[in-house]
Amino acid sequence: MIVTLTPNPSHDRTVTLGGPLERGAVLRAESVLSQAGGKGVNISRASVAAGIPSIAVLPAAKDDPYVLELLSAGIDCRPVPTDGVLRVNITISEPDGTTTKLNSPGPTVTPEVLRELTASLRRRAASADWVVLAGSLPPGAPVGWYADLVAALRDTGARLAVDTSDAPLRALVERLGDAAPHLMKPNGEELASFTGGDADLLESDPAAAASAAATLVERGVETVLATLGAHGAVLVTRDGAWHATPPPTEVVSTVGAGDSSLFGYLLGEIRRLPPARRLALAVAYGSAAAGLPGTTIPQPTQVRDELVAVRELHLVSGE
């Protein structure tokens, strides 16, 4: 089972344009798609679709339309009551696959809500294969809350994965000595944010990305899955490093592709596949998601991991 935390859930609205986005112009949308979103929720969606039980923990009123949508989709949702209206994130999608995101901050959480979320995760972690902490933190949450959660959940027996960015990511990296998760999933820009490297280089050069990811492994993280957009992804563990190239994909929307990649890796781990095959499954899931509109999560029948090419990387110490 996979337990997910989405501390800052959102109603995701995707506006699809028939032509390029023009600032200051009046544009007509071809379609508008609204879905209950958030990184952890996306992983729970993928998990349920693949037949892996999942519980989604998040702050929301139990009768919020967001929660009701998840329940109607067959997702076991365990909301923790909170005040405020859930945020709305808007994605503008252009015909060439370019996406522009407008993310709102979300309602402020109280210390009581954070304590209840922590307690909810602890109650369910003992029966989980993985607990995934994913997405941005809401206003009111301490920047180091993910690090606090990792430290609080390490004695539950569950394996812990974290996918976040910006200040919460940097705070977690600073606490790897006592709060290293089993798995982290940065992208090239996020790798650069704490290594000081060039984001464009890390995105386009798998060896450079793997070397940056290896610094996390050296500091206690067991596995790093670094997604590199059109350049695929790299996987780094204590036993080696691999790069996977995605199959040709007509990109429709990149929103949710990273979440799908993370699920693909977790699915491979639950199936006890070797590292290279886990990486192939991760990239296949991400590519399938990129070919779908909005934050649509791919069904297993849409995932073609046999089309993903994987090669081993040989990193030089200190590279």
Query: What stretch of H or E contains 6?
Result: none
Backbone φ/ψ region at 156: left (φ over 0), alpha (ψ -120 to 50), beta? alpha
| Nearest by Cα to 271 from 305, 220, 313 | 305
Range of the domain at 11: 2-313
Could you tell me if residue 20 is inside a domain? Answer: yes
- Report d(CA 242, CA 258) in Å as an integer: 17
- Report d(CA 197, CA 208) in Å as an integer: 9
Could you tell me if residue 186 is inside a domain? Answer: yes
pLDDT tens, residue by residue, 10-58: 999 989 999 999 999 999 999 998 989 999 999 999 999 999 999 999 9
Could you tell me if residue 251 is inside a domain? Answer: yes
Q: How far is CA 49 from the centre of its chain?
A: 17
Catalytic residue set: 259
Could you tell me if residue 319 is inside a domain? Answer: no
For residue 154, pLDDT beyond 80? yes
What is the mean predicted confidence (pLDDT) over 98-103?
Answer: 89
Could you tell me if residue 105 is inside a domain? Answer: yes
What is the DSSP-derived secondary structure letter of residue 110? P
Q: Which residue has the tokens 């960015």?
A: 165
Could you tell me if residue 163 is inside a domain? Answer: yes
> Looking at residue 29, which CATH number applies to its domain?
3.40.1190.20
For residue 72, pLDDT beyond 70? yes
| Nearest by Cα to 259 from 21, 3, 37 | 37
Beta strands in the chain (DSSP E): 2-5, 10-17, 29-37, 54-59, 76-80, 87-93, 99-102, 130-134, 159-163, 183-184, 223-227, 233-237, 240-245, 309-313
pLDDT tens, residue by residue, 239-295: 999 999 999 888 887 888 999 999 999 999 999 999 999 999 999 999 999 998 877
Supply the pTM of this predicted model: 0.92
Q: How many CB atoms lie within 10 A of CB 88?
A: 15
Could you tell me if residue 318 is inside a domain? Answer: no
Pairing of strands 76-80, 87-93: unpaired
The number of distinct structural domains making up the chain is: 1
Could you tell me if residue 304 is inside a domain? Answer: yes
